[in-house]
């Protein structure tokens, strides 16, 4: 059994900052100011490259830990846990949870249900973190799929209810993007002009590197345990989010089972894709679209991206070919 987290590679050129011209001594002393934690089921690292006060990191830690609880489906204090265990009764949630559910409904509609935030009955069956993961029974999967239907969500202000009392919302395919956006907003409000936000497959950058050049963000070669990049993108104040089958998976009887679950079948999505990376301004949008496009498949996913403004994508097919949208 193997269980892999996506390693989003930031190339050496990106991290080689100390020799850049025009950096003050004070800024150099603070260039390693960073916050690392194990949150959102992954390792996160946020690096502030210009001069910053330690209090900013304290606020950053508080912000991230708040979201780790808020969008959890297993923490009994979270909005989602209370909603998913309310038996269909209305539940009042925070502004942020309501906003994220609204975003989730939007991408569910955009994809005609290929992306569906009511996948929780299915996702709760699959444990990709277990030391001995098992494939759920076909009966259990069929029962869970019968409760997946985003059209059963009622959202009125901050009040949410589910028409099906056995339904449940899982925001895992969009939450890290939303959190990255909130972290970026917070850091900018504190005067940070150069930073790298890495939430394990979700990378968002503030500004440029200290020398004014763009960040060079590598996209991992699928299943490469060394973290070698298969390609890269250059970013300035943008985000890149990758969804891939090598992020979390296990093998059983010679078959690979990955964590990108098809809401219509209840099983891992079966197509010719290894990964999809989305490049745009909003990490929330990039997170949702990376999963949406993976579930739609290469042809439909690429068509969707090429019809959108300000959004680019890189699809890696199972022959390890790199396919870029028309704008890059």
116-164 per-position pLDDT tens digit:
999 999 999 999 999 999 999 999 999 999 999 999 999 999 999 999 9
* Strand ranges across the sheet with 159-162: 91-92, 159-162, 153-156
Q: Among all chains, which residue has been given the structure tokens 């440029």? A: 208
Question: Considering only CA atoms, which of 301, 273, 313, 311 is closest in space to residue 112?
Answer: 301
CATH number of the domain bearing residue 229? 3.10.520.10
**pLDDT at residue 13, as a whole number:** 31
**pLDDT at residue 51, as a whole number:** 86
Non-local (6+) Cβ contacts of 28 within 8 A are 18
Q: Which residues constitute the domain of residue 37?
A: 9-54+195-254+272-324
Domain-located, residue 280? yes
Domain-located, residue 173? no
Domain-located, residue 231? yes
Domain-located, residue 250? yes
Domain-located, residue 28? yes
**pLDDT at residue 41, as a whole number:** 86
The tens digit of pLDDT for each residue in 173-221 reads 999 999 999 999 999 999 999 999 999 889 999 999 999 999 999 999 9
Domain count, the chain: 1
Write down the pTM of the prediction: 0.89
Domain-located, residue 61? no
Nearest 10 degrees: Cα torsion 105, 106, 111, 115:
-40
In angstroms, the CA 184 to CA 69 distance is 19
**pLDDT at residue 2, as a whole number:** 38
Domain-located, residue 152? no
In angstroms, the CA 135 to CA 222 distance is 23
In angstroms, the CA 307 to CA 325 distance is 10
Domain-located, residue 205? yes
Query: Which residue numbers in the chain have pLDDT < 70?
Result: 1-32
């Amino acid at each position: 059994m193997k269980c892999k987290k996506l390693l989003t590679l930031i190339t050496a050129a990106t991290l080689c900052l100390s020799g850049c011209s025009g950096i003050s001594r004070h800024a150099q002393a603070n260039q390693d100011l960073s916050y690392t934690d194990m949150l959102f089921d992954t390792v996160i690292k946020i690096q502030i490259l210009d001069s910053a006060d330690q209090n900013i990191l304290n606020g950053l830690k508080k912000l991230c830990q708040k979201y780790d609880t808020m969008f959890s489906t297993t923490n009994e204090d979270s909005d989602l846990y209370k909603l998913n265990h309310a038996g269909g009764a209305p539940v009042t949630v925070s502004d942020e949870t309501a906003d994220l559910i609204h975003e989730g409904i939007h991408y569910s509609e955009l994809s005609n249900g290929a992306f569906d935030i009511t996948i929780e009955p299915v996702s709760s069956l699959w444990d990709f973190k277990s030391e001995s993961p098992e494939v759920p029974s076909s009966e259990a999967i069929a029962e869970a799929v019968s409760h997946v239907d985003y059209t059963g969500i009622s959202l009125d202000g901050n009040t949410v209810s589910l028409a099906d009392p056995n339904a449940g919302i899982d925001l895992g395919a969009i939450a890290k993007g939303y959190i990255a956006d909130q972290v970026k907003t917070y850091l900018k409000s504190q005067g940070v002009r150069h930073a790298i936000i890495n939430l394990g497959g979700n990378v968002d950058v503030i500004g440029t590197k200290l020398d004014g050049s763009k960040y060079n963000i590598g996209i991992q070669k699928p299943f490469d345990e060394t973290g070698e990049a298969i390609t890269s993108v250059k970013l300035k104040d943008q985000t890149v989010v990758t969804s891939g089958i090598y992020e979390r998976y296990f093998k059983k009887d010679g078959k690979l089972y990955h964590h990108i679950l098809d809401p219509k079948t209840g099983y891992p999505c079966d197509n010719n894709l290894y990964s999809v990376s989305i490049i745009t301004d909003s990490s929330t949008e990039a997170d949702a679209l990376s999963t949406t496009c993976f579930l739609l498949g290469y042809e439909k996913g690429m068509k969707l991206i090429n019809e959108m403004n300000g959004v680019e994508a890189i699809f890696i097919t199972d022959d390890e070919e790199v396919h870029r949208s028309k704008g890059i």
